[in-house]
Structure 1
Amino acid sequence: MGFFVIFNGICVRLVYACHVAVCVWRVVAVNESYFGDIKIWLSLGILAFLGLMEAVWTLLGTKKGSYKWFCPITLLYLCGIVPCIWNLEWDIYNTRMAYLEQQDSTDCDPYILDQIFNVTKAPNLPTVVNFTLKLTDPEWSRGLQQVLLFILILGRWFAPKGKISRNQLSQLLLVYVGTSADILEFSTEGLQMEQVICNPILITCVLSIWSWSLLQFTLNLTVTLSTEKEDNKCRNMYAHRRRQRKKREKQNIRKYCGSCMCCETEVWAIGVSMVMQDIPFFMMRIYLLMVYEVTNEAGFFFTCKNALVLLLQIYRLVVIVIEYYKGRIRANVTRQQGDVIYAIANNIDIGTDDELQTESHLKIQRFFLVDGTEARVVAHDNYASGTNE
């Protein structure tokens, strides 16, 4: 493993650690009681130890500094960030409810309630230009969520690629950008609704779905095999089956091809996207639309968008299944043709259930070509001919 691979891996992990430190500082600054809570610092110590062990194991124990299908450092990073965001959002909720109770009001207008928060600034920012970062508590929460998604994308870009190619990495990053936009829109728009900000159950639902959707970034299931590589695997498999001449050859091929389709990475990528993002987002928005009558333009638009995305995902799965079965039929026909030609070339009997024996010294096998036309192959001692009917 090269020096730059290890260097990039260490730099990415340091960026993750700095962002976690900023989030922890913000939680402690909002609620000073956390500063003396030993559980928080013990949890951070355990997380830091796991991160150190992961860095040593991944950067020194693997050949290319990363795994192909899973990113353990991303999981540890999310374990440090997500609880901080939950704490910030619940502190915002408690502050709002205390203000409403003090004012003896039930008006949950987000524009009014956002005015009660004090403006705080980040500590010790570098003064390259005359600029001071001053944000309220809700703005801090939204800003940390935005930075989280940017760091996830950039971290995956600059981290060691592992066993995936540059082409696959570029596809993965483009998918990450689209996924990040949907997740950020869902969390920011959902937590600013008037029906949500004063309802602890809805806040829990939104944060739970948001946390669940972030786990997509720990997986690299959008990495798909090239079509040429898949075709080569299938051709090698069929050649192996022909050489073995097993009695249950067709059944074995069907089992193998079925497992190929079910384990194909594109199928898994679509399934993961639907289960971890599209379906939860759609169900939550439909629930808000039907139960709480959230009928603003943005909510209605994003609900329709989620429904359209789900339909396109299902359509894509149907296309994959249809193309798979078409390819299997073509492969079986090609295999049968190859068996007949091999038998004729080696003067071997071609006995099947469909054979027609017109004479005792002739063997006629019927099969279908790729274009659907029926053909017959006649095998004789030193004679072979094929005619289309």
Structure 2
Amino acid sequence: KNPSLVYAILALWTWSMVQFPLDLAVQHVMCPLSETSRGFPGLFFCQYRADLWNIGISVFIQDGPFLVVRLILMIYFKVINQMLVFFAVKNFLVVVLQLYRLVVLALGVRTSLRSRLQGPKREHNFPGQSSEMGRSPGVWDSDPQEGLDVPLRASPITSHSIP
């Protein structure tokens, strides 16, 4: 019954439609050495630019604005029903999970940089693989004993199949 509220909700819904042309597929990016030598920001933004873009779309175009509008409806306008509460909780959970994902990505890059600076603590050779084989750039695996990201050695089978 409030025309300004109706226009605000329609504007928000129109704003949320911007997400569709902006969506990027997950990409496996090989960062150039110039980006990785810049430290954390260069490597983080180079390696995870598609993920960061999708997190930004989710927080600033999809779930974040809808959460704000639903909270305004429930708190200021005292409109409370099961559907509104359900979707407000859903939006809150998605925003929190996206922020958690951002923190996990940042911690992963930080750990990866630390392990690069400290050098590999031990060699990771697979059965039938010689230690002369070069490292496949951009391929990382977590080491369960040390909790660090360490480079995998290229194997004849996987060195050509890495995207």
User: What TM bracket, shorter-length normalisation?
Assistant: 0.5 to 0.7
Distance 2:94 2:67 in 1: 10
Q: CA RMSD in A?
A: 2.7
Please state whether the residue corresponding to 2:84 is helix, strand or coil: helix
Please state whether the residue corresponding to 2:119 is helix, strand or coil: helix
Q: Pick one of 209, 226, 242 that aligns with 2:12.
A: 209
Q: What is the identity, as a one-letter code, of the residue corresponding to 2:27? A: L
Q: How does 1:106-121 map to 2 (within 5 A)?
A: none
- Give the match for residue 68 of structure 2: 283
Number of matched pairs? 123
Shift in CA distance, 269/303, structure 1 to aligned 2, threshold 3 Å: same
Q: How does 1:318-333 map to 2 (within 5 A)?
A: 318-333=103-118
Distance 1:307 1:281 in 2: 9
Distance 2:6 2:72 in 1: 13
- Give the match for residue 292 of structure 1: 77
Please state whether the residue corresponding to 1:202 is helix, strand or coil: helix
The answer to which structure has the higher helix fraction is 1
Higher CA-based Rg: 1
Cα deviation code 1:200-236 (max 9, x no counterpart): 1111110111010101111132x1223xxx4xx35x7
Cα deviation code 1:75-101 (max 9, x no counterpart): xxxxxxxxxxxxxxxxxxxxxxxxxxx
Distance 2:87 2:146 in 1: 45
Q: What is the identity, as a one-letter code, of the residue corresponding to 1:318? A: V
- Give the match for residue 161 of structure 2: none
Q: Pick one of 14, 21, 27 that aligns with 1:225.
A: 27
Please state whether the residue corresponding to 1:255 is helix, strand or coil: coil
Q: Give structure 2 stretches of 5+ with no counterpart.
A: 123-144, 148-163
Q: Pick one of 38, 53, 63 that aligns with 1:255.
A: 38
Detail structure 1 runs of 4+ shifted over 3 Å in the superposition.
none
Q: What is the identity, as a one-letter code, of the residue corresponding to 2:20? A: F
Q: What is the identity, as a one-letter code, of the residue corresponding to 1:328? A: L
Q: Pick one of 73, 85, 89 that aligns with 1:304.
A: 89
Shift in CA distance, 371/279, structure 1 to aligned 2, threshold 3 Å: closer
- Give the match for residue 313 of structure 1: 98
Please state whether the residue corresponding to 1:287 is helix, strand or coil: helix
Greater RCO (CA < 8 Å, at least 6 residues apart) = 2
| TM-superposed deviation, 1:255 | 1.8
